[in-house]
Amino acid sequence: MKITVIGTGYVGLVSGACFADMGNDVLCLDVDPRKVETLERGDIPIYEPGLQALVTRNVAAGRLRFTTDVERAAHFGTVQFIAVATPPDEDGSADMQYVMLAAQNLGKHMTDYKVVVNKSTVPVGTADQVQAAIAHELAQRSVTVPFSVVSNPEFLKEGAAIDDFMRPARIVVGCDDEQAALHMRALYAPIQRNHERMILMDVRSAELTKYAANAMLATRISFMNEMANLAEVLGADIENVRKGIGSDPRIGYDFLYAGAGYGGSCFPKDVQALISTASGHVGASLQVLQAVESANNAQKRVLGTKVCRRFGQDLRGKHFALWGLAFKANTDDMRQASSREVIADLLQAGATVTAYDPVATKEAARCFPDETRITFAQSQTAALERADALIIVTEWREFRSPDFDVIKAKLSHPVIFDGRNLYDPKLVRSLGFEYYAIGR
């Protein structure tokens, strides 16, 4: 198939590269010339395990190309994926300007049948708006060109996106005509040979499915964080509680890890957008999700509170090592990362910070451009120098089995604040550390 992917951000680039790797002919469109030049050189602007090699291989094979030419992109693909950003507006709703611009450009230039696929995370009803925008542009040209609008939300985990795309648990497709459904089945046939993964439904249900999925996962995280805070007060261990409830097949173990709160480009934005959709369009109040968001915002301050409880409210003259900046392991994404709140709390109390992250240092530096009280180390050991305590915020694998003797020798005080519950409290305390975890 010939496929156009509009937008070369996280979703667009991963999708385009994976479709090309299946043998399709893919053209990725981006209006940023510098980004296109970077991609054509073989460099990628984001960190995702395996993506660099995937892009390089398919560019070399001639199956993956990049352009800034809107008209060329509109003519190229029978299937046109809209994978542009939908950042949150001030009221928490999704900003749809880039989606609508993509639809308008298609209407201005398309000359034959297209399957227009919303891959971006968009509010319920967006397909109708895309349909209307394309139809309006066609009417302005006084031409009749057939097209279908489909919802095909992505369910990619940062750090495991390629595997999620190639071996999906499900492929949700919302469409209202058989011709579009046949195109989507043909497109995804290479990854459905083992068993049927495609779930066909109406467009609005597909749009809501994406938001509902992320909202459910965010709810599980906030629930466990609240249970962890309660466990800590009651003298229980949240890890034992997690095992006890996770063993129930109705609940399961996934997304039951207590920690320093969720972040990233999806959960915070999608929870806010769903709350906004309910209140703005139907006058409903999603009380559970409002509580989820409130609990998560509070959870991001827990580590800072623990530090101040141990060292005092005035942290002037105190210096802390911080391991992990990205919102989760295996990504450099700093959007809504818990580390940003932890660092902000420490700096506000007068402390200084040396932080280390395997891949997110450059992104973190952009988040604190003029802040001289935070420095970035080249290794986890270097970050420990002259620190009064170690604070762990991201669950990178290399943090899971450190040399505790080295940590103890480097720190001014043998104190660890573990925001991801990486270690066995009894073991760490037996080594002479003060160990402050979440709900343990």
Residues with catalytic function: 266
With residues binned 3-state (H G I as helix, E B as strand, rest as coil), the percentages for the chain, rounded to 5, are 45, 15, 40
Concatenating the DSSP letter of every residue in 355-395 gives EE-SS-HHHHHHHSTT-TTEEE-SSTTGGGTT-SEEEE-S-
371-378: list long-range contacts, CB under 8 Å, 24+ apart. 371/347, 373/347, 374/343, 374/347, 377/321
Q: Which strands sit side by side in the sheet containing 79-82, from one edge to the other?
A: 64-67, 25-29, 2-6, 79-82, 114-118, 147-151, 171-174, 198-201
CA distance 209 to 174: 10
Which positions ≥6 away from 1 have C-beta within 8 Å? Answer: 24, 25, 77, 78, 79, 183, 186, 187
Tally Cβ neighbours within 10 Å of residue 333: 24
CA angle 90, 328, 370 (to 5 degrees): 60
CA distance 178 to 397: 46
The HSE-up count of residue 32 (CA atoms within 13 Å, CB side) is 9
CA distance 239 to 258: 8
CA distance 183 to 227: 46
Tokens encoding 37: 């030049």
CA distance 406 to 404: 5
Angle between helices 238-246 and 203-234 (to 10 degrees): 140
113: Cα separation from own chain's centroid: 33
Q: For residue 27, which of 84, 80, 99 has the smallest C-alpha distance? A: 80
Q: For residue 81, which of 209, 183, 212 has the smallest C-alpha distance? A: 183
Q: For residue 393, which of 341, 331, 433, 349 has the smallest C-alpha distance? A: 341
Tokens encoding 258: 């207590």
